[in-house]
């Protein structure tokens, strides 16, 4: 689902239920909600393009939010892969140890 978009020269963020609010109106609670969505959901955003944003404040805010959320979404996959690999190694290690001790 798209949570940040550029339309008619302005940046917007999605606020439930079905509201698009101008990006310069974003507050702390809105950011926390978007963070939760970025972690838990399929989080999509329109790519940052300063040429599409006519308002300087919208350019600055959208650019920074896009960079941070993009970094979070990219790292989310990496962290998940690393944790799965870590647990997989631990499970294999302890399974081998239990089998070697003859407890099973």
Which pLDDT does position 66 carry in this prediction? Answer: 98
Cβ proximity of 10 and 53 under 8 Å: yes
Which pLDDT does position 2 carry in this prediction? Answer: 95
Cβ proximity of 27 and 61 under 8 Å: no
Cis ω before 77 (30° cut-off from 0): no
Cβ proximity of 52 and 45 under 8 Å: no
Beta strands in 27-74 (DSSP E): 44-45
The residue to which tokens 């970094």 are assigned: 71
Cα 23 from Cα 67, distance rounded (Å): 14
CA atoms within 13 A on the CB side of 65: 31
Which pLDDT does position 47 carry in this prediction? Answer: 97
* Per-residue pLDDT tens digits of the chain, which is 104 residues long: 999 999 999 999 999 888 999 999 999 999 999 999 998 878 999 999 999 999 999 999 999 999 999 999 888 878 778 877 888 877 888 888 888 887 65
């Amino acid at each position: 689902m798209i949570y940040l978009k550029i339309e008619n020269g302005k940046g917007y963020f999605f606020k439930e239920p079905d509201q698009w609010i101008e990006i310069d109106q974003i507050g702390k609670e809105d950011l926390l909600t978007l963070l939760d969505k970025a972690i838990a959901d399929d989080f999509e955003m329109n790519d940052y393009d300063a040429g599409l944003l006519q308002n300087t404040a919208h350019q600055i805010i959208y650019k920074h939010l896009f960079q941070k959320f993009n970094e979070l979404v990219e790292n989310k996959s990496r962290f998940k892969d690393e944790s799965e690999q870590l647990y997989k190694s631990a499970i294999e290690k302890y399974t081998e140890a239990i089998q070697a001790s003859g407890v099973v």
